[in-house]
A and B are shown apart, each in its own frame.
Chain A
Amino acid sequence: MTNSIRQSFGDTLTKLAKNNKNIFVVNADLKSSLFLNDFAKKFPRCFIECGVAENNAAAIAAGLAQTGKTVFLTSFACFSPAINWNTIKQSICYNNSNVKIIGSHAGLMSTDLGATHQMLEDLALMRSLPNMEVFSPLDALETEKIVKTVSFSKKPAYIRLVRPSTQNLFDPKFDFTIGKSHILQPGKNITIIGHGPILEEAFQVQAKLNLDDKYKKITLEIINCSSIKPLDTTTILKSVKKTGRLICLEDHQKNGGLGEAVASLILTNNLSCKFIHLAVDNSFGRSAKTYQELYNYYGIGVNDLLSAVKKIILK
């Protein structure tokens, strides 16, 4: 069963705005893409359209936030936070403004749009900023939970969204808590940590292992690290201590991605483990008809994860 993360975002915000007149959207000409037509129609006073001017939009959002609003700054990740990084640094983070940056179409998942629109550096840009919290939802349901949670916080936040409809993976029994990761599947041998819909590959790999006599005893501990900053250090360290083997999987550049954050966390805590980071390695994206073609090309597809699992188990 699949659902749209973007639609979940637009619907959740529209629902929240019914009971909170201080929720504002500052948009940069991508209302339809972010499923905000309904919001704009129902709450025209709270929907501010800036056109394709992402720097202006970021500082408008910060100024509005100063007047007591909770502002969602909406665009594609390849424009916001990519074009307006310094405005986010100064006007949003340094001024500690209550602005939630929504970067849609992140990663190779924007597929046919190609290199300019496949934002593979957003986490690097946002992780590096003081005061900024960074989230990457697993699926449509977790998107709803994250959007609700940050709407009650006063801090700057970045939420990374993807373009296609994706597999439902989040357990409805779970709540989202800032700084907490969820173990989607407990396991003994290898920790698989990642963020966003790409984690679905880990379940596919587990299914393949289960069918293979040589590997059927291997269990993967799959961790959904949707709270990229702050990180859930307890859950991550506990799992790595147990398994001694870690694969980090993400639709992002290696440089500045979750893998670097987790590797740094592990070394800082005097732990050592076998480590493979599956991510885009210092390359630009390109067009394709399906994102799976791109995942295979850039070495982050299901078969790449399966190979990494077989390799790390021997290490």
Chain B
Amino acid sequence: MLPFIKANPLQKVSQDLRHDLLDMIYKNGGHIGGSLSSIDLITAVYFGNLFNFKKDHFILSAGHLAPALYTVLANAGYFSKKLLDTYSSFDSILQHHISRDVPGVEYSSGSLGQGLSFACGLALGNPKHTTICLTSDGEHQEGQIWESLLFAKKYKLGNLINIVDFNQFQIDGPVSEIMPLDNLAAKYIQFGWTVTTVDGHNFNQIISALKNAKKSDYPNCIIAKTTIGKGVSFMENNFKYHDVKNLSEVLYNQAKSEL
């Protein structure tokens, strides 16, 4: 008989967030695939009682995952949830790609590969607090990522955590076909980072990895194996749902019932 494992309470939190996220993207379009793969990671960062974002920092390097972060920030009370309805609209502060005009956001981004460098700068300038960065796996094709890995090792940025949303897809298809990253963990280790690989939808694993990373003296990478479109069967592992413009009512209703 399998031992009874108590469900992590964050599971319920992220389930509610997924509903908000889906509603937001149904109304306005957006990068749903990566938002659904990364939202558990962002939920753990903000609702896991590990960090204090009056002092610690969170940088979303993969700026197209803005819907996930906006949803988390709205539910964490940074701004009214009503604003989510205005996402990506002309008169909204909720820009399509993440924008620091939004309360709680520290870094505007959308062009990939820069956020981890920015996070290194923050970690260096604010050594007593933790800087967490979220990058995507496809983003690692940008050369600048590797420049920042060298830098973090050289300056011994033990207060830096990079979470990789490893969902194995990018806009045109599987990462393994577009430009394989092969053994990403081995590459990080070679660059002098501490690496933990987790199931990016298992809160116990994510929280435990974050706790260990917080204590570490070395820059830390958490490779989170995730599923693009997680929670909605027809979106899972389907790169067509990297970004949606018009989700039909039928599919929306199906997605809602599955969540």
Contacts and interface: CB of A to CB of B under 8 A. Distances in A.
Task: From A26, A63, A66, name the one whose CB has the most chain B CB atoms within 10 angstroms.
Answer: A63
B14 interface: no
B187 interface: no
A66 B147 contact: no
Contact of B147 (A53, A68, A86, A91): A53
Interface stretch (A2-10, A54-62, A178-186, A196-204): A54-62
A51 interface: yes
A86 B111 contact: yes
B199 interface: no
Interface in A13-66: 26, 48, 50-51, 53, 55-56, 58-66
A61 B109 CA distance: 16
A86 B63 CA distance: 15
A69 to B, nearest CB: 6
Contact of B125 (A56, A66, A89, A91): A66
A56 B154 CA distance: 13
A87 B111 CA distance: 8
Interface string B90-124: 00000000001000001111110111011111111
Given A87-B144, A95-B100, A95-B108, A66 B114 contact: no
B150 interface: yes
Among B121, B124, B126, B148, max chain A CB count under 10 A is at: B121
Given A63-B118, A87-B144, 4 more contacts: A58-B117, A63-B119, A66-B107, A95-B107
A68 B122 CA distance: 10
A284 interface: no
Contact of A56 (B108, B109, B123, B144): B144
B120 A63 contact: yes
Interface of A: 26, 48, 50-51, 53, 55-56, 58-69, 86-87, 89-91, 94-95
A61 B143 CA distance: 18
A123 B148 CA distance: 27
Nearest to A58: B117
Contacts of A59: 114-115, 117-118, 120-121, 144, 148
A90 B110 CA distance: 8
Contacts of A58: 117
Contact of A60 (B109, B110, B121): B121
Contacts of B120: 56, 59-60, 63
Given A66-B106, A94-B108, A95-B107, A55 B121 contact: no
28 contacts: A26-B121, A48-B124, A51-B150, A53-B144, A53-B151, A55-B117, A55-B147, A56-B117, A56-B120, A56-B148, A59-B117, A59-B121, A59-B144, A59-B148, A60-B121, A62-B118, A62-B121, A63-B122, A64-B121, A64-B122, A65-B121, A66-B107, A66-B122, A66-B125, A67-B126, A69-B125, A90-B108, A95-B108
